[in-house]
Amino acid sequence: MKKKETLVKKLDSHQYNIESIFQMYYDTLDTIRGEMLSQEYRLRHSMDNFESKTKSLVTALSKYSTIEFYHEEKHLQKEIEKLTDSLDEFNTYLPAT
User: Do the Cβ atoms of 86 and 50 come closer than 8 Å?
Assistant: yes
Pairwise CA distance, residues 55 & 88, whole Å: 19
Count Cα atoms within 13 angstroms, Cβ side, for 79. 15
Query: What's residue 24's pLDDT?
Result: 95
Query: What's residue 52's pLDDT?
Result: 92
pTM: 0.59
pLDDT mean values, one per 10 residues, the chain (97 residues): 86 91 95 91 88 89 85 88 82 57
Pairwise CA distance, residues 43 & 60, whole Å: 26
Burial grade of 64 (CB within 10 A; 0-12, 13-18, 19 or more): middle
Pairwise CA distance, residues 70 & 55, whole Å: 20
Pairwise CA distance, residues 93 & 85, whole Å: 15
Query: What's residue 95's pLDDT?
Result: 53
